[in-house]
A = this chain, B = another copy of it.
Amino acid sequence: LLSVLALFSYILFREINNLGKKKQVSWVNKSLMKNKPKIADIYTKEDISKIIDKEKKVAYCRCWKSQSFPFCDGSHTFHNTVTGDNVGPLVLRE
């Protein structure tokens, strides 16, 4: 009887513990600027034109792991390797 009780307590505790985590597990952005209600980035045609003229190409992060967000810093490669995901940047070029 004791072991059954112990098991039940364990399962119950774990389920309660998981409730709070369920939401974060479904987050696409796990860590960047979580104090902001929504992260959108807006550029004009001119901004884009300037940056492409200067850099030849520019990659924008869609994996939300970049340390230089909104730019891609290549972190998607590590993320894809570790998790088996298949995300990559949006690239604008000459």
Interface residues of A (CB under 8 A from B): 3-4, 7-8, 11, 23-29, 33-34, 36-45, 48-49, 52, 60-64, 70, 76, 79-80, 82-94
Contacts and interface: CB of A to CB of B under 8 A. Distances in A.
B93 A45 contact: yes
Secondary structure class of chain A's binding surface, majority of residues? mixed
Nearest to A65: B28
Contacts of A28: 28, 62-64, 79, 85, 87
A35 B50 CA distance: 35
A39 B23 CA distance: 25
Rank and list the top 3 A-B pairs by shortest CB-CB distance, nearest first: A40-B88, A42-B91, A26-B83
